Amino acid sequence: MNLPDYYLILNFKNNDRQANEFIFRTYYKELFYIAIKYLGNPDEAKDLVQSSFVKLWENREHLQEDKPLKPYLLTIHKNNCLDSIKRKKLNTQTLSETISATDKYSLEEQLISNELEYKIIESVSLLPPKCKTIFEMSRYEGLKNVEIAEKLNISIKTVENQMTIALEKLRKSLIDYLIISLLFITNFF
Amino acid sequence: MDTIDLNIIVRFLQEECSEQVTGEVELWIKSSPDNQKLFDQYKKIWDASLKAGIHLQAVDIETELQKYLNQIDILKDHSQPKLNASGNNHLWGFFLRVAAIILIIVNLGILAYQLFPKQPAGKKGFTQMSVANGSKSKLVLPDSSIVWLNSGSKISYDNDYNKHNREIHLDGEAYFEVAKNRSKPFLVKTPEGFTVRAVGTAFNVKCYKEDKFIETALVEGAVKLIEDNESGQKNEYSLKPNEIAKFDKKLRNIVILNKSKNEIVLNSAPQIIENKAAFESTPHIETIVSWKDQHLAFDHETFDGIVNKLERWYGFKIHLVDNNLNNDTYTGTFQNNETIFEVLNVLEKTSPIQYSIKEREIYIKTKP
């Protein structure tokens, strides 16, 4: 029997600080990106992720040790995102501001591009460890190949190769999203 | 050039190619629609990952983690169950609560009976129900009248309630749905010699000790307000549906108004409080009674009022550090069982405040 989160959930339920921190650090980026996808605004996304983790903690009694934690957390978070959008829609002022600030096409494009960004975060987390580190340093931290090579004490050639592997793996795992998103652009421009 | 080394495309995207190689790559892209398509895919990933990086740079996970752990710490100290308005999965919790309320009432009844066993018949002690800050409660009285008790409130009644009359003592805020019985009037007594008398009706009474006013709001039916004045006489006022009465505890004047009709029904001391001021400082009746449906509502509330309400609603100690926050008023409703942090986050965005948490208490001050 494979129970990957058994002890984690057990400790979390007992209010263990380390378990709390571990869960937060492990899932933060992904939750943040889901929230960005729904809300499009990093500040609102931060608040929403906070409240999702608090909700998980408040509902810890309902967690089952023999089930994986992630689907439960994602369900809480997605409902939380949807509630937040509903609340936003109730606020007519916000809605009219949104409409006037951005025309229909760019809003739609924005949603698709947010979706792709979120998928990239997800796919990057699935890359082989070395590949992942190098890609994150290059794209998220904005480092040049030389700088990465120096920091990791490897050759520039290795950095270049790993970047190529990363990009090709990402392209393959994201091909469906890429096709949709590029179709969209060719249709309207 | 039909094929190209993927390494070169990546370096092209990284802008780490020589001019000559750059030109070659550009040529390759333009040489066929397939090449263009492939390049567009790489480019899309490239740009989107940069954007993802920019968003991620906007968060400091360690700061966020600390914020989360602070919230958990403060919640640990206030882990009373919340009274949820709806939801089937809370049914069991609801039964437990009802059972607990009945138990408390039974216990207090027994306790009271033992404390006052020698009192004359008909005066066999009393029943008391109190709700701490951060909770709300609903209970059914012996005559089937229903009482919603707001945070930080207390009601009590003698054990001969419903024998000759129906008399309740209230400290705090409660909403009543009174079972009809013309022969036994329903009386809500407040500590300040101010009584609300009803027959069969729905109304809200707010009389927290620290409040300046006793506020009575009538939703349906009719009630009479009875004030015992200093000369031992009684002043009586009648309320019609949608009317709100504000009785000043210290100055003992009364204003009755109807917000939906924009009408001042009565002002016993217009020299003390102007009609306009009385009108502006009174919320709409929907706002006044919304708490019983778990809606946290503000209607032209100053920060003092908001802080006061939040403290009772959530049971946290909140310090308002700046006094200059009371010049503006705020209106809004939270109706999704928001946590206190969600409410504070909204306030931070919509008003010039920021909050912080220190030693499990909340501090609100003006944004720098």
Residue A52: per-residue pLDDT: 95
Contact B365, B359 (CB under 8 A): no
Residue owning tokens 């009432």: B105
- DSSP β-bridge partners for residue B226: B195, B236
Q: How far is A80 from chain B (nearest CA, A)?
A: 11
Domain with CATH 1.10.10.10 in chain A: 103-189
Between the alpha carbon of residue B56 and those of residues A45, A167, B176, the distances in Å are: 11, 19, 52
Instruction: Say yes or no: domain A103-189 is CATH 1.10.10.10.
Output: yes
Residue A165: per-residue pLDDT: 93
Task: Give the pLDDT band of residue A78 (cuts 50, 70, 90).
Answer: confident
pLDDT tens digits, B50-103 = 877 777 777 888 889 988 988 888 777 665 443 333 333 444 445 555 555 544
pLDDT tens digits, B341-351 = 888 888 888 88
Query: In order of start, what are the domains of chain B with their CATH numbers?
Result: 6-58 (no CATH), 84-283 (2.60.120.1440)
Residue B86: per-residue pLDDT: 34
How many contacts does A have with B, using Cβ atoms within 8 A?
120
Report the residue from B45, B51, B342 with minimal CB separation from A171.
Answer: B45
Residue A111: per-residue pLDDT: 57
Beta strand segments in chain B, E: 126-131, 137-140, 146-149, 153-158, 166-177, 186-190, 194-198, 202-207, 213-220, 223-228, 234-239, 243-248, 254-258, 263-267, 296-301, 318-320, 330-334, 353-358, 361-366
Q: Taking the model in full, what pTM does it have?
A: 0.50
Residues of chain B with Cβ-Cβ distance to A49 below 8 Å are 64
Choice among A32-46, A141-155, B115-129 with the minimum mean pLDDT: B115-129
* Top-confidence residue, B295 or B114: B295
Choice among A14-28, A94-108, B39-53 with the minimum mean pLDDT: A94-108
Residue A182: per-residue pLDDT: 65
Residue B256: per-residue pLDDT: 94
Interface predicted TM-score of the whole assembly (ipTM), two decimals: 0.72
Residue B273: per-residue pLDDT: 81
Contact A79, A56 (CB under 8 A): no
Residue B243: per-residue pLDDT: 94
Judge: B75–A54 Cβ closer than 8 Å, yes or no.
yes
Report the residue from B42, B68, B342 with minimal CB separation from A24.
Answer: B68
Judge: B41–A17 Cβ closer than 8 Å, yes or no.
no
Task: Give the pLDDT band of residue B327 (cuts 50, 70, 90).
Answer: confident
Residue A189: per-residue pLDDT: 35
Q: How far is B63 from chain A (nearest CA, A)?
A: 11
Residue A10: per-residue pLDDT: 85
Pick from B14, B44, B347 the residue to mutate for testing the A interface (most A CBs within 10 Å): B44
* Top-confidence residue, A94 or A131: A131
Judge: B53–A164 Cβ closer than 8 Å, yes or no.
no
* Best CA proximity match to B333, nearest among B366, B367, B362, B293: B293
Average model confidence (pLDDT) across chain B: 81
pLDDT tens digits, B174-217 = 999 998 888 888 999 998 889 999 977 899 999 998 888 999 99
Pick from A22, A56, A119, A120 the residue to mutate for testing the B interface (most B CBs within 10 Å): A120
Domain with CATH 1.10.1740.10 in chain A: 1-101
Amino acid at residue number B124: K
Judge: A139–B11 Cβ closer than 8 Å, yes or no.
no
Residue B238: per-residue pLDDT: 92
Residue B296, pLDDT > 70, answer yes
pLDDT tens digits, B245-259 = 999 988 888 999 998
pLDDT tens digits, B222-243 = 899 999 877 778 889 999 999 9
Residue B223: per-residue pLDDT: 92
Residue B293: per-residue pLDDT: 86
Task: Give the pLDDT band of residue A57 (cuts 50, 70, 90).
Answer: very high
Pick from A139, A163, A187 the residue to mutate for testing the B interface (most B CBs within 10 Å): A139
Residue A90: per-residue pLDDT: 59
Residue owning tokens 């007594």: B189
Which structure tokens are listed for B39? Answer: 């390049």
Residue A98: per-residue pLDDT: 42
Q: How far is B5 from chain A (nearest CA, A)?
A: 10
Among chain B residues, the shortest Cα distance to A139 is held by B50
pLDDT tens digits, A143-188 = 889 999 999 999 999 999 999 999 999 999 888 877 776 665 444 4
Contact B146, B201 (CB under 8 A): no
Please report the DSSP string for B15-77 in residue order.
T-S-HHHHHHHHHHHHH-HHHHHHHHHHHHHHHHHHHHHHHHHT--HHHHHHHHHHHHHHHHT
Residue B159: per-residue pLDDT: 80
CATH of A1-101, one of 3.40.50.300, 1.10.1740.10, 3.40.50.720, 3.40.190.10: 1.10.1740.10
Across B45-53, average pLDDT: 84
Residues of chain A with Cβ-Cβ distance to B52 below 8 Å are 33, 117-118, 120-121, 139-140
Residue B272, pLDDT > 50, answer yes
Residue B277: per-residue pLDDT: 83
| CB burial string B197-215: b at 16+ within 10 A, e below | bbbbbbbbbbbbeeeebbb
Average model confidence (pLDDT) across chain A: 79
- Is the minimum CB–CB distance between A29 and chain B shorter than 8 Å? yes
Residues of chain B with Cβ-Cβ distance to A43 below 8 Å are 349
Helices (H), chain A: 6-13, 17-39, 42-58, 69-90, 92-101, 104-125, 129-139, 145-152, 156-173, 175-188
Helices (H), B315-364: 340-350
Burial (Cβ within 10 Å: 0-12, 13-18, ≥19) of residue B291: buried
Pick from A21, A47, A62, A89 the residue to mutate for testing the B interface (most B CBs within 10 Å): A47
